[in-house]
Amino acid sequence: MRWVIALAALLLLSQSASAAGVLERIKDSGVIRLGYRDDAEPYSYQDANGRPAGYVVDVCREVASRLGGGVRPKFTLVPSTKRFEAVRDGQIDILCDPSSATIARREIVDFSLPVYLDGAAALSRTSLPAQRFEDFRGKRVGVLAGTTTEHVLNDALDSLGINADVIEVNDHRVGLDMLWADKLDIYFADRGILAAKLRHADRPGFELSKQYFSYETYALALPRDDSAFRLAVDKALAELYRSGRINAIIRKTFGNVPLDEMLKAMFVINALPDR
């Protein structure tokens, strides 16, 4: 019995040390490990020089700069299908991509204050517009596996009794290549990502749905059970919003377009005071 109690005590001490160790490790090493993707432009991607870029990546850089002098961000490329596991397993400290905060995902990771609002949209040929789920009937619809957009798509089709051939892909670029090559009729993903891909692809004859099929609240995924680290990240985000510095990041990514009223409200609501 004694060795069982001793073993349990050691396990509790180990878990406690692990949970409380992110800020300490960052302080000791001077490095914060940031995960990003290469297929989620304009939020998280590789630029022409192979460097991490995008709105959420820049937000993470701002967070890192507010965690203390001399903290250096170290970026790690993570696949979309394993990005939350990378946080859970301690490979990265913050996931810097367009991740929607959901209850199910909170079983794996914690989330910061919100960093952006977006939603699902459909990209299709102009000759076969997809403005509502009923337009998906009998169509080949591509979607990124393991995402909230996949769940939104499947749940909507099931509830409406719409038969469609849903094809899962593991990379947005693969899905869009299939759409360009007429192997898909519709590609279903976050509107901001689809808009950026369509703009850079310069593909006449394709159009983005005018409506949102869902609304998603993006947040930074963080290790679970580390309240000190989450508080430090939230404090940095709140200061970023209060200072107005977030507007420069928005302009860098999206240009001088008017901010959506819901997005402006999100920044105001989450510009929490320090005291």
Q: How do residues 2-21 score in pLDDT, each as one tens digit?
A: 544 444 444 444 444 344 48
Least confident of 55-59, 144-148, 269-273: 144-148
Give the CATH class of 2-118+217-269: alpha beta
| 3-state DSSP of 165-215 | EEEEECCHHHHHHHHHCCCCCEEEEEHHHHHHHHHHHCCCCEEECCCCCCC
pLDDT confidence bin for 257, thresholds 50/70/90 = confident
CATH no. for 120-208? 3.40.190.10
Q: Confirm whether 2-118+217-269 and 120-208 share one CATH topology.
A: yes
Q: What are the sequence ranges of the domains in the chain?
A: 2-118+217-269, 120-208
| Separation CA 191–CA 152 (nearest Å) | 14
Q: How do residues 160-200 score in pLDDT, each as one tens digit?
A: 999 999 999 999 999 999 999 999 999 999 999 998 889 88
Q: Tell me the average pLDDT of the chain.
A: 91
Per-residue pLDDT at 220: 98
Q: How do residues 108-132 score in pLDDT, each as one tens digit?
A: 999 999 999 999 999 999 999 999 9
| Separation CA 37–CA 75 (nearest Å) | 10
